[in-house]
């Protein structure tokens, strides 16, 4: 994997361990996975193809997960949101920070996230998956609710996978922005 990655870019970008306690510090790990995506896929293919033990089958399952659009989309979405949020958390951990500066930084972060909430930003995020060995997005199978919960009305159905993932993208951004606003726009702050 190392020589394959060095040959592509001339420089080595190593994978990083995930921080077990801080979600915001996982951004650099996610970025390293995206930068080494082809090398990781080829390494997983090699291990799952040669190893017939339990670890080989686990690597095969991991490979099939890595090749799904859902995984790659989640990875890009995590990078896009947790990267700017990481800067805010670093600022908030300073001993010299005052409340007004924290509020201002949170408003700037919300403004940046609001700018990301556009069809153009969504298209940029999804086009990167096309260049790598990632499967095309697909709609999940339609599930009927249990009869005891079904009121007879037709449920909402997405017509294309792009509509489904655009909805997930916008919902994720909306939840993050609402949580930041509720924490930093309090009257007692």
Exposed / middle / buried, residue 126 (Cβ in 10 Å: 0-12, 13-18, 19+): buried
Instruction: For 184, list phi and psi in degrees, rounded to 5.
Output: -110, -5
46 and 15 fall within a common domain = yes
pTM of the model: 0.77
90 and 180 fall within a common domain = yes
Tell me the angle at which helices 69-92 and 99-116 cross, rounded to the nearest 10 degrees.
160
* Residues above pLDDT 70, as percent of the chain: 88
Final residue before a domain boundary, out of 67, 99, 124: 67
26 and 48 fall within a common domain = yes
93 and 133 fall within a common domain = yes
Final residue before a domain boundary, out of 47, 67, 87: 67
> What is the model's pLDDT at position 169?
92
Tell me the angle at which helices 37-50 and 54-66 cross, rounded to the nearest 10 degrees.
150
Q: What is the pLDDT of residues 157-184, one digit of tens each?
A: 888 999 999 999 999 999 999 999 998 8
Final residue before a domain boundary, out of 67, 86, 121: 67
Q: Low-confidence residues of the chain, pLDDT below 70? A: 1-12, 22-25, 133, 188-189
Domain that holds residue 30: 1-67
Q: How far is CA 34 from CA 38, 106, 157, in A?
A: 8, 27, 31
Number of domains in the chain: 2
**For residue 52, what are its two tokens?**
């017939």
Do the beta carbons of residue 135 and residue 41 sit within 8 Å?
Answer: no
59 and 112 fall within a common domain = no
What number of residues does the chain have? 189
**For residue 80, what are its two tokens?**
């896009």
Nearest Cα neighbor of 59 from 41, 36, 76 is: 41
91 and 62 fall within a common domain = no
10 and 73 fall within a common domain = no
37 and 77 fall within a common domain = no
104 and 61 fall within a common domain = no
> What is the model's pLDDT at position 163?
92
102 and 141 fall within a common domain = yes
103 and 153 fall within a common domain = yes
> Rounded distance, CA 17 to CA 168, Å?
27
């Amino acid at each position: 994997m190392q020589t394959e990655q060095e040959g592509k870019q001339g420089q080595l970008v190593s994978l990083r361990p995930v921080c077990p306690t801080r979600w915001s510090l996982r951004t650099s790990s996610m970025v390293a996975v995206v930068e080494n995506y082809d090398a990781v896929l080829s390494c997983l293919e090699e291990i799952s193809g040669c190893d017939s033990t339990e670890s080989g089958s686990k690597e095969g399952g991991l490979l099939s997960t890595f090749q799904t659009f859902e995984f790659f989309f989640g990875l890009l979405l995590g990078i896009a949101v947790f990267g700017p949020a990481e800067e805010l958390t670093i600022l908030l951990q300073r001993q010299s920070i005052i409340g007004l500066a924290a509020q201002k930084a949170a408003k700037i972060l919300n403004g940046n996230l609001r700018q990301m909430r556009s069809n153009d930003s969504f298209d940029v995020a999804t086009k990167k998956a096309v260049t790598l060995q990632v499967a095309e997005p697909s709609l999940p199978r339609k599930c009927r609710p249990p009869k005891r919960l079904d009121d007879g009305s037709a449920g909402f159905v997405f017509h294309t996978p792009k509509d489904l993932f655009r909805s997930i993208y916008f919902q994720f951004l909306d939840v993050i922005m609402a949580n930041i606003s509720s924490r930093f726009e309090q009257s007692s702050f």
